[in-house]
Amino acid sequence: MRIKSALAAAAIVTLAAACGGGGGGEPAGPGEPVKLDFLSLAWQKESVAANKELVNEWNKAHPDIQVTYVQGSWDNVNDQLVTQFAGGTAPDVIHNDSPALAGFASDGYLLDLSGKLPAELKSDIPQHAWDTVTFAGGEGEQGVYGVPFLQESQVIIANKKLLDESGARVPTPEEPWTWDEFSEAAKKMTKDGRYGVAWAMKSPVNKTLNLALNFGGTFFQTTDGNTTVKVGPEEREVLQRIHDQLYKDKSADPAALGQGTADPLPAFFQGKFAMLPTGVYLRQQVVEQAPDGFEWVTLPAPKGTSAQQGAVSQTLSIAQESEHPDEAMQFISFFLNAANQAKLAKGDWLLPTSQKAAADAAMTTKENGWDVATASAQNLVVAPFLKVNGYDEWRSKVATPVLQEYFANKISLDEVAKRLVEEGNQVLERYHR
């Protein structure tokens, strides 16, 4: 999931003021409404507006259960929650993403929702999405510690004119390119000083690990409860293919390697390269920033032995200490019904987990590539790293610098495998219980 700045310092003050002093919503006195605090991490203008609109709609329809919208930030939410959980001031309803839930669940800070999920909500969200929020709780038992509602997939944003001129077959969700076809298309579009593709690899780990599932690459294996790193033929496939585009085919723009997700857009609009593999949410910035007359299309990500991609979810959870868990669940059920998930997905330019929402006309229109984006959800499976205790440290201290060196052509793929495994296992060993 994206981590964006949303006035972090202001958010800390807001959170402390709104959630401090009493453990989320207040107990209701006789004749008084139940009061719930809802921590939202929405940050884009459309998304914030959609969140606030739904809270207002709920409050008007439920005078006996009033929800206070609390604006948070992805930049500091987990540090803030640690403080609030420890101090007994956590909000009742908590917006986060699924990788963060495992630690909070095992520490006993989140409520297991297994027995509280309404049948309609549970059946509308596919099992692979529920898998992203299923973890061991404080007693070691498996539980559901959030409701997954938005997910991200990888797609390719392409310059339509350059794609058409290349003569390459235009891939569809039903018939995506193979990785070989993708590489050939990139070579066809590489000419006259222009590259076929650009890989923004400032943060390379999640992207490459999610795409590695195209060839069955998981990067982790668990035996007798202990997880270790593995880099075999399956894990090497996508790494090698991206490297080949950079240094063998020379069809990938090396200038993009050190850039963040949106940084290559100016060069993309200038025609310096034809295709940009990226997350579905970047379509919003393309719409907002593209010069007049610039035509672009959304293409499905390439497939290997399968089209699977790893996924994490944005989630809504209930604090274990909430005094009103049943009312909090009622609010979540309303907030994440099919119609509302469609609104939230449009606001965030992400994919709804609700199958009914995914069938909404707003999610299947060809405008701005929504049809291709929504279709990509069928290929999402739980990201293998989601269940790995110590993954964040492995990613930041080991995998990120190693992959950056590899894509900069400073080390070999064999050296990548050696370091990811040896240095990675040293990190993971500290997390074994």
pLDDT tens track for 299-327: 999 999 999 999 889 999 999 999 999 99
> Which of left, alpha, beta for 349 (phi over 0: left; psi -120 to 50: alpha)?
left
CA distance 313 to 315: 6
Amino acid 83: pLDDT: 96
Coil, helix or strand at residue 334: helix
Contact 279, 349 (CB under 8 A): no
Q: How confident is the model at residue 389 (pLDDT cuts 50, 70, 90)?
A: confident
**How much is the average pLDDT of 261-278?**
97
CB atoms within 10 A of CB 261: 17
Amino acid 19: pLDDT: 47
Q: How confident is the model at residue 293 (pLDDT cuts 50, 70, 90)?
A: very high
Spatial CA neighbour of 145 closest among 203, 93, 85: 93
Contact 397, 328 (CB under 8 A): no
Give the Å distances, CA to CA, from 252 to 183, 215, 241, 243, 300. Answer: 10, 21, 11, 9, 18
Could you list the beta-strand ranges (E) of 224-371.
Answer: 226-229, 273-279, 296-300, 309-311, 313-318, 351-352
Amino acid 2: pLDDT: 43
Spatial CA neighbour of 94 closest among 391, 387, 261, 317: 317
Residue 94 CB contacts under 8 Å (≥ 6 apart), including other chains: 39, 81, 110, 316, 317, 318, 319
CA distance 327 to 68: 13
Domains of the chain: 31-151+312-358 (3.40.190.10), 154-310+385-432 (3.40.190.10)
Amino acid 15: pLDDT: 44
CA distance 59 to 65: 7
CA distance 365 to 228: 43
Average pLDDT, the chain: 92
Pull the structure tokens for residue 274. 């034809």
Amino acid 216: pLDDT: 97
**How much is the average pLDDT of 320-337?**
98
Tens-digit pLDDT profile for residues 75-94: 999 999 999 999 999 999 99
Give the Å distances, CA to CA, from 146 to 105, 132, 133, 141, 289. Answer: 10, 9, 6, 15, 35
Beta bridge partners of 279: 154
Tens-digit pLDDT profile for residues 61-79: 999 999 999 999 999 999 9
pLDDT over 60 at 133, yes or no = yes
- In this prediction the pTM is 0.88
Contact 104, 81 (CB under 8 A): yes
In sign, the C-alpha dihedral spanning 82, 58, 341, 132 is positive
Amino acid 26: pLDDT: 59
Characterize the bridge pairing of strands 309-311 and 380-382: parallel
Give the Å distances, CA to CA, from 8 to 44, 75, 127, 315. Answer: 14, 6, 34, 20
Give the Å distances, CA to CA, from 315 to 48, 341, 405. Answer: 16, 12, 34
